[in-house]
Amino acid sequence: MKWLDRLRSIRRSQDGYTPLIEVGISRDNLLHNLHTYQEAYPGVGIIPVLKSNAYGHGLLEIARILEGEGVPFIMTDSWFEAERLRKAGVRQRILIMGYVRPELIARQGLRDVDVAIVDIEQLRELATLARRSARIHLKIDTGMHRQGLLPEELLEVARIVAGNPALVVVGICSHLGDADTAGSAHTDAQLTSWRHILQEAQTLFPQIEYRHIAATAGMAHADSAGGNVARIGIGLYGIDTSPGASLPVQPVLELRSSIVSLRRIGKGESVGYNATHKTKSESLVATVPMGYFEGIDRRLSGSGVMQVAGQEASIAGRVSMNMTSLDVSDIPNARRGDTVIAISRTPTDPNSVIGIARRVGTHPCEILVHVPAHLRRVIE
């Protein structure tokens, strides 16, 4: 794939445009994380999850890096994502885990794509439409009560599948709703339900190839729950949300821009909307051309930091739609054009994904998926 990187570099040099904002994607860190999970769980096939623009990292960019890494399949949430991958030339088998309209499944317009069945009505409708072979995974509701076939519906599922030979059950799966809580009674109850269902399903559908309930937070249960594959989303991108000892994964994404304006203002002056920031002394304020449209969480207004010349600079006032102001008074060498790191790859930094999520009181996934798709991803 090095020739592709060279081609992209040539195109960037020819188009004469250097974007003000870049999303840096570390190939080494991504592959390190995948291999870390593969080595830690050798009895379980690791399934990279590429939904939601690969957790904000870039759907096509991440898929291309992972090609040739020997994973059983990759996972998306939607037909749209799978279609984008196929149109871009990605050949890896795909599982679509979210709801897909039965007519799309029946049409089978995409090669080597499996689809999760998430409720009985979807399966009934598909059974009336399918004429070509459709490989399906049965998603079972073991207690999260968000999606999935009910355990008591398994016999009816078997009857429906038997009535249409085009329906081929190749997988069974579920999802743990509280796996990131240590000692969760809810997780224990789900696992008990899952084991009973798995035993029944393997009798009804002996051709099942894939069994999966564990995701990043629940990897400790991957083997004991009888799974032979596990879905790794946020962990693949460098954040291990499991409640036990974390694996040494490394963040993949860095969001950066530069200072485009500097101004020195006097004591008692305000910065930004609604005059929420008042200077306590003469201050040097830098403007960075990215705001909440570019993935800077508005809840960081007046409390977050970015990095300029390796030093922390506080966000001064409200984060605007396309701009953020920084107080760089303590960075005397700050200059127009200096690189600004808005989201750091160093987990201990206050502006890392974990640090930002803690500061604003949310899950790291929310920070990552809000890095917009239109920003240029640069594979490093």
- What is the pLDDT of the chain when averaged over all its residues? 94
pLDDT above 70 (res 13): no
- Global pTM exceeds 0.85: yes
Return the CA Rg of the chain: 24
CA angle 13, 310, 247 (to 5 degrees): 90
Catalytic residue among 2, 37, 41, 51: 51
| Adjacency order of strands within the sheet including 22-25 | 261-265, 283-288, 324-327, 311-315, 305-308, 339-343, 253-258, 22-25, 376-379
Say yes or no: do domains 27-232 and 253-379 share a fold.
no
Bridge partners of 217, per DSSP, are none
> Please, which pLDDT band fits residue 370 given cuts at 50, 70 and 90?
very high
With H, G, I as helix, E, B as strand and everything else as coil, classify residue 10: helix
With H, G, I as helix, E, B as strand and everything else as coil, classify residue 366: helix
> Please, which pLDDT band fits residue 1 given cuts at 50, 70 and 90?
very low
Burial 102-121 (b: 16+ CB within 10 A, else e): bebbbebebeebbbbbbeee
pLDDT digits (tens, 9 = 90+) for 58-96: 999 999 999 999 999 999 999 999 999 999 999 999 999
Per-domain boundaries in the chain: 27-232, 253-379
pLDDT above 90: percentage of residues in the chain: 92
Q: Confirm whether 237 is a catalytic residue.
A: no
| pLDDT of 223 | 83
| pLDDT of 3 | 53
CATH 2.40.37.10 fits 253-379, yes or no: yes
Going by their DSSP bridges, the two strands 167-173 and 113-117 should be labelled as unpaired
Catalytic residue among 87, 267, 273, 278: 273
Sign of CA dihedral 40, 41, 45, 50: negative
Q: Confirm whether 99 is a catalytic residue.
A: no
| pLDDT of 245 | 73
pLDDT above 80 (res 12): no
pLDDT digits (tens, 9 = 90+) for 110-138: 999 999 999 999 999 999 999 999 999 99
Residue with tokens 């709703």, as numbered in its chain: 177
CATH 3.20.20.10 fits 27-232, yes or no: yes
Among 156, 170, 226, 229, residue whose Cα is nearest residue 198: 226
Query: Are 233 and 55 within 8 A, CB to CB?
Result: yes
